[in-house]
Structure 1
Amino acid sequence: MCETLINSGAYVTCIDNFASGQKANIQSLMDNERFRFIEHNISTPLPIDTPLDYVFHMASRASPFEFEHYPIQILKANTMGVLVALGIAKKHHARFVYTSTSEVYGNPDIVPTPETYHGNVNPIGPRGCYDEAKRCGEAYVIAFRRQHHLNTRIARIFNTYGPRIRTDGIYGRVIPRFIDQALTGKTLTVFGDGSQTRSFTYVTDQIEGLLRLAALDAAEGQVINIGNVNEITVLELAKKVIALTGSHSSLSFHPLPEDDPLRRRPDVTRAKKILGWQPKASLDTGLARTIEWIRSVS
């Protein structure tokens, strides 16, 4: 996102505490005169005096393996952190974009899932720290719009992937984990029987959707799914990664984590109608690019 904005001629202030992000991802921007970096935990107050037109809240640990280890930090980032970011936007009369998540739908009864679906979420389950924090974050955004007339937009993101995604330890989500395991000849770990589905959005498609959401006047006050409609089972994904990497890895099956959603597929009717957006990159193309990048840095 920072690179795309800089390349478009924007001035960018980036805030991160590297809880799960990596400094290497923005290293190439550090000497750019239109890029300013502040190392800070957005859950605590931060005065910003530089005039701002847009504020994007994209801060949160998001790997399911992090939910067990950092539930309080995740809750804070999406509640207190949202309040801090909203306060910054209010001060500067800036448009506010909140990146929420498909996780607010929990294990949905309706698939493809529209924005009008209110969710099937377990607030005290292991995913509750993320699901409920994001739902609370959305409520804060809407409250600021209603009470302070702030110009806001909410994106509900579905599994995003691409180059620079982490593969290591608790940070590695299913695509980078499968790719890393395949490239190193390890067994690919599949949870459950692999019949659960996901819909994966390539990072450049995701960024385009978010920028359209931020820029278009018609998106003011909207909640919009930004995701790929092509649904694939985790087992099919594992086999596809093995084929694309030329790996001889085998598969191993492990118990399905508690409250793991069985299906994920967005209804993107609003995104098409309001944003004029739909994903362009196929899963095979996106996986090939991601495999190439992970191979280059391994």
Structure 2
Amino acid sequence: MKTYENLTTYNPGEIEGKWYSYWENQGYFHEEVDTNKEPFSIVLPPPNVTGMLHMGHALDNTLQDILIRFKRMQGYNVLWMPGTDHAGIATQIKVEEMLAKEEGKSRYDLGREKFVERVWEWKKEYGDTIVKQIRSLGASCDWSRERFTLDEGYYHAVREVFVKLYEKGLIYRGERIINWCPRCATALSDVEVEHEDEHGHLWHIKYPVKGEDNRFVIVATTRPETMFGDVAVAVNPDDDRYKDLIGKTLILPFVNREIPVIADDYVDASFGTGCVKITPAHDPNDFEMGQRHNLESIVVMNNDA
């Protein structure tokens, strides 16, 4: 009679790694171009080389793997193209942290060329964590075609596509509000920014009306430090208090620059004094208002904030 006393619980580490290596070594994930078959391919959305898989990656990759395996069984000429993204800012921070901890140096101590060399060294030593994790999921990517976003030739193709899109008028270059990191001296995406609400304080500032002695427009603002970038003062067009001021000119205090009074529905007449200073280079809402009224954008902060 068979007994089960010596059986233990299932250990995926003992089983799955062995079989995945077997599949890969047998070339089950690789196909050459076959013009007799209908092609089917997926480019794996490249995860950051500095990153670690999270549940979103696991779900997304699993769904792609199911689809890829299904298409193989249907007889398609299949390619699941894997790769990783250089994640420039995140990688830079990792290398800077290592330099500070191990050598007490900054990127400025090394200079640009030497620092870039150290980034490549770091990538070669630590950059395959995410790839190992994708393999651990059992993802049937064609690893013989693995790419990195800074591989030779790859970025030339990206640049060519951007140029073509620009020439077709599908993308453009222009000034926009960005998230600026004064430590890294670079722009950050919205997903890399943590927004915090804080209790501010309203400052009331008098803006003299040009040509009218002793008449002022009082602006209430939580950001008086950006007033040097003011290019207009906005009021609500339905606010009876200021209708006669629309189109007139104010004198910006301290710098004596002339700025117009404009009317815009965005202004909340019940907030503060109902008069809003417009700094298109330092507030997203002001930027949109500046676009509507063709206003200049004046940057009043240095790269170090």
**Structure 2 length-normalised TM:** 0.26
TM-score, normalised relative to structure 1: 0.27
With CA pairs under 8 Å and 6+ residues apart, which has the higher RCO, 1 or 2? 1
Bigger Cα Rg: 2
